[in-house]
Amino acid sequence: MLQRMIVAMHLSCHNEFDQGENMTSFPNPPGVSLPPGHPLQAWQQYWQLMAGDPDKLRQWQQQWLAQHAQLWDQLLHRRAGEPAEPVVPQVRGDKRFSSPAWQESPIFDYLRQAYWINAQMLTRWVEESDFPDGKTKARARFLVRQIVDALAPSNFAATNPEFIRQALETQGESIRRGIANLLEDLHKGHISMTDESAFEVGRNLAVTPGAVIAENPLMQLIQYAPLTEKVGERPLLIVPPNINKFYILDLQPENSLVRFALEQGHTVFMISWKNPGITEAHYGWDDYLELGPLRALQIVREVTGVSDPNALGFCVGGTMLSCALAVARARGETPVRSLTLMTTLLDFAESGELGCLVDEASVTAREAAIGKGGLMLGSELANTFSALRANDLVWNYVVNNYLKGEAPKPFDLLYWNSDSTNLPGPFVTYYLRNMYLENNLRVPNKLTMLGEPVSLTRLDMPAYVMAAREDHIVPWRGAYLSQHLLGGPRRFVLGASGHIAGAINPASKNRRSYWINEALPEEPEAWLSAAQEQPGSWWWDWARWLEAHKGKLVPARTTLGNDQYRPIEPAPGRYVKEPALPLVREPVV
């Protein structure tokens, strides 16, 4: 029952992009009518394609049956005590079946291999089928992966030998703990990924000293205290995404990008977005540009006396920052000296799996529901992003928390990942339609923002564009295509790992690697084929690049803000502490 409930929940998590229906069963078979834009249409088309090519289907079925016959023969040999080679060897890197318990028992080893035969066949059917377009194929690929991940034998008590062994060894105590964990998570409204009691924003997260020096209905502006006696005269404004909280850039001292920038002699300002509630549900894209980056830049100039600060945007924050700068350039201003974009899309032609879930019908439905006012809840966003990596961010914790009865370990990044934010409906619908659906931002002067036609080609300041090679949210090829839209000199750097681990790769640990190539050919693959891999964190490369833009050294300011913008409260401020979900006041016993 639990598995079925969670499968349904994660299939229905696409209601961020669909018509708000709850899907409580597995995908419909061919012939069942689905409304336009329904996420399961790709699944329906998948089966229709199968039925339309009986010869190919028959061939695949024969191969599938042959593998299962071979697997059954192997099971009989093992049951008889005879040696037998596995039909499907242990899949490298798959932690779900890494325990020796899966190989020690012929029955559980059979279940593991049968699962992989079925999973590989379903995946192959998608990859080798001719869908009407790439987006439909991407949707089918996504849905098949959701089902394949959900139905792994490791997710079920009766078919997981680790659950059985642990229950026997603890005399049922692990089952009791697992049920208690499940009840507690049901009370919280989300799956626990970390020990949430181990962290508190302002106590051991987001602790870099500073003060909130200004605020409005959408953001607080933080100025951080200097860490060097002298600083560059040009300050640095950081614009984080508003789909999650800014302290991913200031987790703890050893992995804080904010602290690293301060140590390099920069005066750092940070936008902290408000977690919107009902009173902010009417704000749209233009409001975020005006009250966010544009207002923050104005304050930074007034506090420091510098007309052209440096600016950094991360993820959606980079998209908003670029749009705000394009508005300023349309007004004839020179808004910043340099621009840094971290894992940011401006050209949404290659927008990954999030893009494949957006179509005309789903966006129209969202516009009707919340386009003129309303909220997209943080829980919806969290479920959608978790579904993109369901094995790592859903089923891993279902197994550990509920089947094994284990307590999640403290992990600052996962605490941040669970700290959801809401989004105003008008902002969401504008973003979905004009970026993901119609890709209008890449067309010069097609969009008007704050009364100005925007063209990214007007952004002629030096730009540092960073992408992550394994990023599933902002595919690096999409980020590479995006940098071609900018009008000034550019440096493109490709970091290792994914959307967060690739971006937050602390210089103090200097792990992983990054790729550089001074040339910027049109095609991403051409760039990569000639790129040189460099060991360590890309932060050092960025620091060297930004050094040339920070201006002459001046004595660090001894006070934060000025007479007009006096400190309101210590960093990180109260906006970042506002939860998207109801607070849990009484634990479940």
Q: Which residues are catalytic?
A: 315
Residue 557: is it exposed, middle or buried by C-beta count within 10 angstroms (0-12/13-18/19+)?
A: middle
HSE at residue 288, side-chain half, CA atoms within 13 A, is 33
Return the structure tokens found at 98.
């890494």
- Residue indicated by tokens 């804080």: 256
Task: Let me know the angle formed at the C-alpha of 587 by 585 and 589, rounded to the nearest 5 degrees.
Answer: 150
Give kind and range of the element (H or E) at residue 311: strand 310-314
Strands 513-516 and 532-535 come out as: antiparallel
Task: Let me know the angle formed at the C-alpha of 323 by 488 and 232, rounded to the nearest 5 degrees.
Answer: 60
Q: Which of 512, 492, 493 is nearest to 501 (CA)?
A: 512
The 3-state DSSP class for residue 241 equals coil
CA pair distance 289, 386, nearest whole angstrom: 28
Q: What angle, 0 to 180 degrees and rounded to 10, lies between the N-to-C axes of helices 54-79 and 106-127?
A: 170
Return the structure tokens found at 294.
């544009």
254: left (phi over 0), alpha (psi -120 to 50) or beta: alpha
HSE at residue 146, side-chain half, CA atoms within 13 A, is 28
Q: Are 350 and 477 in contact (CB under 8 A)?
A: yes
Give kind and range of the element (H or E) at residue 335: none
- Taking residue 353's Cβ as centre, other Cβ atoms within 10 Å add up to 18
CA pair distance 526, 10, nearest whole angstrom: 37
Percent of residues in the chain assigned helix, strand, coil, to nearest 5? 45, 10, 40
CA pair distance 492, 463, nearest whole angstrom: 8
- Which value, to the nearest 10 degrees, does the dihedral of the CA atoms of residues 574, 577, 580, 584 take? -120
CA pair distance 319, 232, nearest whole angstrom: 26
Identity of residue 289: L
Q: What angle, 0 to 180 degrees and rounded to 10, lies between the N-to-C axes of helices 41-52 and 134-150?
A: 100
Strands 553-555 and 490-495 come out as: unpaired
How many residues are recorded in the chain?
589
CA pair distance 325, 343, nearest whole angstrom: 18
